[in-house]
């Protein structure tokens, strides 16, 4: 075939060739697969058109064919992916040499429609011999190595068994969580916020809970990032919002003027539909907007982002209260803090826990309380685990406390009992 004729992606053809090599005359010696991603193709398709993308691919194939040994072969197997079959690749060391050879071959400006383009290749390499290895698993392993190179911002990576275990675990966790969210199988617990002046419970925070029969309870610090990375955090947020609002009536029947707080993820604020979705949920459950608090992390609201700013303004206009969670752990700009439509600031428990033992943390907590009050915000101290810390926070003028000393997070029915007992 003419090297410059744009080849159609053909992964099945490559797999057939690979199987033939694994079981051919050289079977027994290890065969290598180098998966090359031409990272520039998406840009070229978008800027110069798909024919230009194809032409660039064809040039790269030509260069690789010149560089590789006789008997090795190259095929296009995806829009921007080339797969090289490397005969006799007995060790990881040989894999590294092959990766360098491929990168060198492509390390030049390619010319497409009068424009000079850097192919910006990434390479993932795997190797193995039959019968332990089959073609499909070799290609998959090269793909795992390619992802690893991309993740580490390296130009190449060699497959190693250790790369697979965490990815597989992550994949299983992601699938199970996606199903749990879709089936409404996440649970909610509530943790109270105590008003230090009145001694009443002023509000409760809804916290997501998830467990798997095989793994037991999985903490939100583990599963929330999975939902964020896999792109279904807004579904999870909506489930939690509804789970919290549907319990509001029963809780507020025994504790009047109660607030209920729900945690938002940074990506929730990028969702233009969020304010309307929240407004509808409040309407559906008949909860007044000023009874709902949305807790946002510092980093999520500090970026001067137009969509996020507009969402916050619209939520605020609805009458919802906005709170900054884990304050002190992210980065804050004073001008942004001053301009945001906030109501509450939650001091992160890392400062609160050391309040009595560290004079420095004590000064930080006192200053943060003063700063929040100057900005007209209610202050909540998180992670209060003993009476002495609570007493010190009271002396500093802190408004609310939350923590195991008041109560651990409780299931919905237990929370109603807890609130009723305190009334
Ligand atoms: P957060 O919003 O700051 O929630 C407070 C966390 O501190 C909870 O952990 C709570 O159980 C724990 N905690 C409360 N009092 C104490 C105490 O006295 N001592 C100690 N050591 N810990 C205490 P949890 O439930 O594991 O949640 C961790 C984080 O996961 C939350 O931090 C929040 O950022 C996130 N999260 C939980 N549920 C959701 C959710 O529905 N949506 C989103 N986006 N994030 C959630
Ligand atoms: Mg929170
Ligand atoms: Mg917090």
The CATH number for 231's domain is 3.20.20.450
Nearest CA owner, ligand 1 atom 22:
383
Domain boundary among 159, 186, 206: 159
Q: Which of 188, 224, 281, 329 to mutate to test the pocket of ligand 1 (most atoms within 8 A of CB)?
A: 224
Q: Are residues 181 and 203 in the same domain?
A: yes
**How far is the centre of ligand 3, averaged over its atoms, from the C-alpha of 49 (Å)?**
48
Please state the atom number of ligand 1 nearest to the C-alpha of residue 265: 44
User: Is 356 part of any domain?
Assistant: yes
Q: Which of 139, 159, 179 is the last residue of a domain?
A: 159
Residue 48 lies in a domain: yes
Q: Which residues contact 264 (CB under 8 A, 6 or more apart)?
A: 237, 274, 294, 295, 296, 300
Does residue 150 sit in the same domain as residue 234?
A: no
Range of the domain at 335: 170-422
Residue 1 belongs to a domain: no
Among candidate residues 258, 259, 193, the one with its CA nearest the CA of residue 398:
193
Q: Identify whether 40 is part of a domain.
A: yes
| Same domain, residue pair 116 and 137 | yes
Angle of helix 161-182 versus helix 220-230 axis, rounded to 10: 90
**What is the distance in A from the centroid of ligand 1 to the CA of 206?**
9
Same structural domain, 16 and 150: yes
392 near 190, Cβ under 8 Å? no
Q: Are 219 and 264 contained in the same domain?
A: yes
Angle at 148 between CA 144 and CA 150, to 5 degrees: 120
Ligand 1: residues within 6 Å at CB? 191, 207-208, 219-221, 224, 237, 240, 263-265, 295, 325-326, 349, 382-385, 402-404, 409
Predicted pLDDT of residue 1:
39
Q: How far is CA 106 from CA 57, 121, 303, in A?
A: 11, 7, 38
Residue 153 included in any domain: yes
Q: What is the CATH number of the domain that holds 153?
A: 3.30.70.270
**Weakly modelled stretches of the chain, pLDDT under 50:** 1-3
How confident is the model at residue 29, as a pLDDT?
A: 82
pTM of the model: 0.81
> Which tens digit of pLDDT belongs to each residue from 261-308?
999 998 899 899 999 999 999 999 999 999 999 999 888 887 777 888
Asked whether residue 145 falls in the same domain as residue 213, the answer is no
Number of domains in the chain: 2
Residues 101 and 199 in one domain: no
- pLDDT tens for each residue of 67-94: 999 999 999 999 999 999 999 888 999 9
Last residue of a domain, one of 126, 159, 192: 159
Residues 325 and 186 in one domain: yes
Q: What are phi and psi of 235, to 5 degrees?
A: -65, -45
Give yes or no: residues 179 and 149 share one domain.
no
Say yes or no: 263 and 405 in one domain: yes
In a domain, 229, yes or no: yes
């Amino acid at each position: 075939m003419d090297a410059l004729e744009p080849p159609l992606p053909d992964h099945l053809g490559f797999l057939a060739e690979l199987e033939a090599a694994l079981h051919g005359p050289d079977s027994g010696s290890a065969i290598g697969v180098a998966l090359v991603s031409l990272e520039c193709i998406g840009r070229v398709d978008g800027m110069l058109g798909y024919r230009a993308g194809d032409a660039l691919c064809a040039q790269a194939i030509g260069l690789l064919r010149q560089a590789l040994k006789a008997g090795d072969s190259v095929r296009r197997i995806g829009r921007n992916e080339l797969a090289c079959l490397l005969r006799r690749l007995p060790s990881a060391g040989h894999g590294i040499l092959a990766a360098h050879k491929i990168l060198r071959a492509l390390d030049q400006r390619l010319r497409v429609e009068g424009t000079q383009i850097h192919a910006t290749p990434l390479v993932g390499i795997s190797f193995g011999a039959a019968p332990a290895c089959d073609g499909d698993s070799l290609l998959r392993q090269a793909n795992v190595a390619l992802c690893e190179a991309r993740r580490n911002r390296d130009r190449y990576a060699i497959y190693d068994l250790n790369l697979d275990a965490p990815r597989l675990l992550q994949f299983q966790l992601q699938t199970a969580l996606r199903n749990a969210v879709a089936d409404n199988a996440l649970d909610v617990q509530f943790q109270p916020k105590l008003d230090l002046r009145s001694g009443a419970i002023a509000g409760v925070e809804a916290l997501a809970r998830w467990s798997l029969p095989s793994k037991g309870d999985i903490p939100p610090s583990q599963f929330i990032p999975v939902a964020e990375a896999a792109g279904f955090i807004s579904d999870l947020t909506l489930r939690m919002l509804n789970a919290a609002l549907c319990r509001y009536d029963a809780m507020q029947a025994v504790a009047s003027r109660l607030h209920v707080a729900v945690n938002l993820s940074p990506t929730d604020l990028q969702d233009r539909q969020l304010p309307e979705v929240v407004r509808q949920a409040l309407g559906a459950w008949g909860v007044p907007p000023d009874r709902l608090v949305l807790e946002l992390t510092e980093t999520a609201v500090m970026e001067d982002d137009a969509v996020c700013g507009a969402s916050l303004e619209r939520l605020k206009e609805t009458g919802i209260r906005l709170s900054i969670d884990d304050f002190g752990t992210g980065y804050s700009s004073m001008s942004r803090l001053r301009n945001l439509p906030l109501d509450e600031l939650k001091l992160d428990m890392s400062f609160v826990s050391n309040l009595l033992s560290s004079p420095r943390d004590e000064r930080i907590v006192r200053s943060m309380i003063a700063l929040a009050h100057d900005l007209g915000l209610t202050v909540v101290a998180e992670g209060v685990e003993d009476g002495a810390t609570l007493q010190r926070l009271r002396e500093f003028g802190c408004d609310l406390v939350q923590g195991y000393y008041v109560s651990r997070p409780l299931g919905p029915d237990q929370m109603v009992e807890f609130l009723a007992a305190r009334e």
